[in-house]
Structure 1
Amino acid sequence: MSEQQADLGVLGMGTMGANLALNFADNGGFTVALGNRTVEKAYGIRDSNPALAERLVPADSIEHFISTLKSPRVVVIMVNAGKPVDEQIDLVLPHLAPGDILIDAGNADFNDTVRRERAIKDTGIHFVGMGVSGGEEGARHGPSIMVGGDQAVWQRLKPLLEPISAKFDASPCVDWLGTDGAGHFVKTIHNGIEYADMQMIAEIYGVLRDGIGLSAGEIGDIFSDWNTRGLQSYLVEITAVTLREKDPETGKPLVDVIVDEAGQKGTGRWSVIEAQKLGVGATTLEAAVSARGISSRRAERAEAEKLFGDIETARAEFHGDHDGLAELEAALETAKIIAYAQGYAVMAEASREFGWNLPLGGIARIWRAGCIIRSRFLDDITQAYEAGEVVNLLQSPHFASRVREGQASLRRVVAKAALAGLPIPALSAALAYFDDYRHARGTTNLTQAQRDLFGAHTFRRLDREGVFHHKWPQV
């Protein structure tokens, strides 16, 4: 048995795991056991942080790691999603005892979290799926934390998690959201919204660059200005920073020498898959995920440009239109509201489907600091839910008035971009969703008629109750 007893242990000393461990030791003041497949890396984390060294306990083996922990033990796993998580669980589980808490704090498919929680439940060991947002900086200095699992276990974890979480007006950005996979599900939707937000920002950047013809630095100044108003957010702030940064080797704007292929780690796709499974339209999120997929086909895109020719003449729709900046700002803000409305609609349906009773207003509250999509906008969402029941954010009086005012700008930007041949998939999807959502009488009556003709799928009528099948003419 080790002489030094750690308050908790972190397994996985990658970027996120190491920074989370340092956060526990620094901002939480906890003694933290450090476990890693490569033992030297755990010792390196301690040795490179001398000010915290007395609260960092590297382990030589899994047995040593467990022996350093106070009972009941708390083990935080921070490794890549999928098989690596299962491997770490299999490694540590035989050394734990009933009452111990095992936390998966990485990105995870919530279905895996549900499966793992059920598999472990009968052992008496508590499994917690915990979403952590904020990237490297957030993990080190204060992330937004979304906790799932047994509510009684959350009461034991609060003293550990509140000190290390981000704070908004002194309020910790951490909360229990529901049983089993609730925390990881909410983190997944957070990331889906993040994809949409980033894609729409990129599309507006494309209009400013390829449509109006502005330089990266000029566009950075515009985003910096927008960050002082309704679009104020971490993503808009860092957009201005990245656009103003110079490449030290060439002196060019750094963004101009970066290859236009976006990576993704799975959470965006998961958000879209779950939206489809729940039957909720999340078209703006879908468009953002699709755009990243298309971006990866760079060679194909180059050939397609040769095949379909230049479209410079069409870009006269925007070229030199420096007076259209307010319109672009309003379009982006309006589309952002629509994207968030879709993400929240997915969470609301999941809450009903899985019996989670997700605190939707509380989710906005803990997203206000620490996470990647933190913004002034989330305070507005918090207030909307505090004001009463919200069917959809687009029906909330505050957001309804903003969309009513901004939809004309979004409509004009989408129309001009389409005429100019500029790709704006997420902005277009947001507008299409809005127009679909606001029509009391849609067009799927025709779809139902077709389905009944070829498959006898039946339909309902406007003028009477019941389910009907019609004897259609033979085709």
Structure 2
Amino acid sequence: MNIGMIGLGRMGGHMAQRLREGGHAVVGYDSSPQSDRDVDSMEALVKALSSPRVVWVMVPAGEPTDSVIETLAQLLDAEDLVVDGGNTRYADDTRHARYLDQRGIRFMDCGVSGGVWGAERGYAVMAGGSLEDFERVKPVLDALKPSGPDGLVLAGGVGAGHYAKMVHNAIEYGMMQALGEGFATMAKSPCITNPAAVMTSWKSGSVVSSWLLDLLANAFEDDPTLSGMPPVANESGEAKWMVESALELGVPTPVTAAALHMQQMSRGGADDILRAISTMRAQFGGHVTKV
């Protein structure tokens, strides 16, 4: 296929690379002149594509995605197809689809997982949209996913792909939190002499073996105590969105909520809370907080 890729960062650039290796012709655009872009504007990208066009958007969620969608609405023709592969909130997909539909432009959303390793390993792709549009871009999706029968799903209508990715990332947060807590507990215990070796041994034969554990074991090779890594974890929004959705649906999500709160605390979000708690303990019990 002939496809346009808007956004050539850590994900988009590697996806474009994998698509080219799969035999597809990719016209890439990024706002940064230092990127490996093929054209220097979205107008040039649209002109370089044959009709009916397919344009894949890989830019940050929120205003950047809104801006790209609004620009494409002015540049594309009826029956062209826009695929949002970023981490857009699922509720925004319906708004984007309706906006583009006013001009007869098709829309799909795709949650994509695989990180910087995706160019080599392939990506898990969770699509949302019509079956007709899914079949239209399936050659591209097949090139992105890993070899084998799994790694690609049409999760439902518009918004379903990003909803599935939201849940996926929230599960990821919980898994990382559990692995981190296990490492910290062993690191503090006098019973364990080498927590890194213990966790690395779980890569084979263990029920907790996973790619996340493999990546942690990779890091242990260079830094067994992880002392070189700052104790700060950023969160991109998906876990928060899942907790909000789960509350509306009446689904308890204590693990996801706890993992989300820990990531927020790592960025200093709990400093004022802890200062207030220490103040009250000092007032009622004379407890002196030691740093």
Of 198, 202, 207, which residue of structure 2 is paired with 1:222? Answer: 198
> Aligned-pair distance for 1:241?
2.1
Equivalent residue, structure 2, for 1:456: none
Equivalent residue pairs, number:
279
Equivalent residue, structure 2, for 1:416: none
CA distance in 2, matches of 1:75, 1:39: 20
Of 154, 171, 176, which residue of structure 1 is paired with 2:154? Answer: 176
Amino acid at match of 2:93: T
Q: Does 1:146 align with 2:123?
A: no
Amino acid at match of 1:196: G
> Aligned-pair distance for 1:39?
3.9
Maintained 8 Å contact 2:166/2:241: yes
Maintained 8 Å contact 2:18/2:143: no
For residues 55-74 of structure 1, the aligned pairs below 5 Å read 58-74=38-54
Q: SS at 2:126's partner residue?
A: strand
Deviations 1:285-343 (A, max 9, x none): 01100111122228939976x94459xxxxxxxxxxxxxxxxxxxxxxxxxxxxxxxxx
> Closer, same or farther in 2 for the Cα pair 1:160/1:207, shift >3 Å?
same
Equivalent residue, structure 1, for 2:10: 15
Equivalent residue, structure 2, for 1:35: 29
Q: SS at 1:72's partner residue?
A: coil
Of 256, 266, 285, which residue of structure 2 is paired with 1:295? Answer: 266
> Aligned-pair distance for 1:61?
2.3
Maintained 8 Å contact 1:219/1:243: no
Amino acid at match of 2:214: E
CA distance in 1, matches of 2:58, 2:118: 14
> Closer, same or farther in 2 for the Cα pair 1:115/1:213, shift >3 Å?
farther
Equivalent residue, structure 2, for 1:116: 96
Q: Does 1:243 align with 2:220?
A: yes
> Aligned-pair distance for 1:119?
2.2
Amino acid at match of 2:236: K
Equivalent residue, structure 2, for 1:258: 229
Q: SS at 2:226's partner residue?
A: helix
Deviations 1:136-187 (A, max 9, x none): 11155410000001111001111111122113xx214112110010000000
> Aligned-pair distance for 1:130?
0.5
> Closer, same or farther in 2 for the Cα pair 1:277/1:209, shift >3 Å?
same
CA distance in 1, matches of 2:189, 2:94: 47
Equivalent residue, structure 2, for 1:201: 179
> Aligned-pair distance for 1:117?
1.4
Equivalent residue, structure 2, for 1:405: none
Amino acid at match of 2:258: A
Query: What is the aligned-residue identity percentage?
Result: 29
> Closer, same or farther in 2 for the Cα pair 1:75/1:140, shift >3 Å?
farther
Q: Does 1:231 align with 2:208?
A: yes
Counting helix residues as a fraction of each chain, which structure ranks higher? 1
Q: Which runs of 5+ in 1 are unaligned?
A: 1-5, 44-57, 247-252, 311-475
CA distance in 2, matches of 1:175, 1:298: 37
> Closer, same or farther in 2 for the Cα pair 1:206/1:94, shift >3 Å?
same
CA distance in 2, matches of 1:223, 1:29: 40
Amino acid at match of 1:12: G
**Root mean square deviation of aligned Cα:** 2.2
> Closer, same or farther in 2 for the Cα pair 1:307/1:104, shift >3 Å?
farther
Moved over 4 A (4+): 301-304, 306-310
> Closer, same or farther in 2 for the Cα pair 1:201/1:67, shift >3 Å?
same
Deviations 1:373-407 (A, max 9, x none): xxxxxxxxxxxxxxxxxxxxxxxxxxxxxxxxxxx
> Aligned-pair distance for 1:257?
2.8
> Closer, same or farther in 2 for the Cα pair 1:296/1:39, shift >3 Å?
closer
For residues 428-447 of structure 1, the aligned pairs below 5 Å read none
Q: SS at 1:32's partner residue?
A: strand
CA distance in 1, matches of 2:134, 2:171: 26
What's the TM-score, normalizing by structure 1? 0.56
CA distance in 1, matches of 2:260, 2:238: 10
Maintained 8 Å contact 2:196/2:225: no
> Closer, same or farther in 2 for the Cα pair 1:38/1:259, shift >3 Å?
closer
CA distance in 2, matches of 1:256, 1:102: 44
Maintained 8 Å contact 1:131/1:147: yes
Equivalent residue, structure 2, for 1:402: none
